[in-house]
Structures are given as C-alpha cells and as structure tokens.
Amino acid sequence: MRTAALIFLPLLAACAGANGEGPAATPPAVEGPCRNEGLDRFLGQTASAATGAELLKASGARTLRWGAPGMAMTMDFRADRLTVSYDGKMAITSARCG
C-alpha cells in the first residue's frame, strides 16, 4: 500500500494549483537573456496570451512562466526566463526576469 501511495503522490502534487483559470497557452519563445527594464508598464494589465507575447518581446526572454495566486514556484534562476505573477482578477502584479 505504501508503494502505491508513493507512485501516486507526484501525480497529485502536479494537480495542486491546477484548478485556477490561468492565461491561455504560453506564447511562442522569442530571443535570449531577459531584461527587466520597461516591464513596469505591464503592471495592472490583464494576464492573457496576448499580453504574455508583449512581455516576452519587451523583455527579450525566451520563456514565460505565469504565477497564479498562491501558486508555488521553484526558486531557480534562469537568465532567459520571465516570471509574471497575477492576482485573482487576472491583473499582473509583477514581471521579473529569472
């Protein structure tokens, strides 16, 4: 019984936090190393696939990671990634590289 629990535990953990409606699919990748300059203009805007594409273009990041309210995220730093957090009303609260 313990083995079965260990097998299914990662699957359950992967579902945690997946019940919220996030922005549509992540936009396609863009350039390279991320830049924070000028990203403050996106604060308060609605989180969406279109806004994500604009954020990627403005930052130069290769990948975009959305952070839903209360969502746990890894603390690893990636110079090519932009992390964008939003609140319960889908308003962007932060946009930062890493």
pLDDT at 20: 53
pLDDT at 32: 61
Structure tokens at 87: 């609140």
pTM here? 0.67
Task: Identify residue 69 by its one-letter amino acid code.
Answer: P
Rounded to whole angstroms, how far apart are CA atoms 53 and 50? 5
Apex CA 75: angle with CA 73 and CA 79, to 5°?
Answer: 110
Rounded to whole angstroms, how far apart are CA atoms 7 and 42? 41
Instruction: Supply the DSSP string of 4-70, one letter for each residue.
Output: HHHHHHHHHHHHTTTTS---SSPPPP--SS---TTGGGGTTSBP-HHHHHHHHHHHT-SEEEEE-TT
Per-residue pLDDT tens listing for the chain (98 residues): 444 443 443 443 444 444 455 665 554 444 468 999 999 999 999 999 999 999 999 999 999 999 999 999 988 889 999 999 999 999 999 999 98
pLDDT at 25: 53
pLDDT at 11: 40
**Whether domain 38-95 has CATH 3.40.920.10:** no
pLDDT tens digit sequence for 45-68? 999 999 999 999 999 999 999 999
For the chain, give every domain's residue range: 38-95
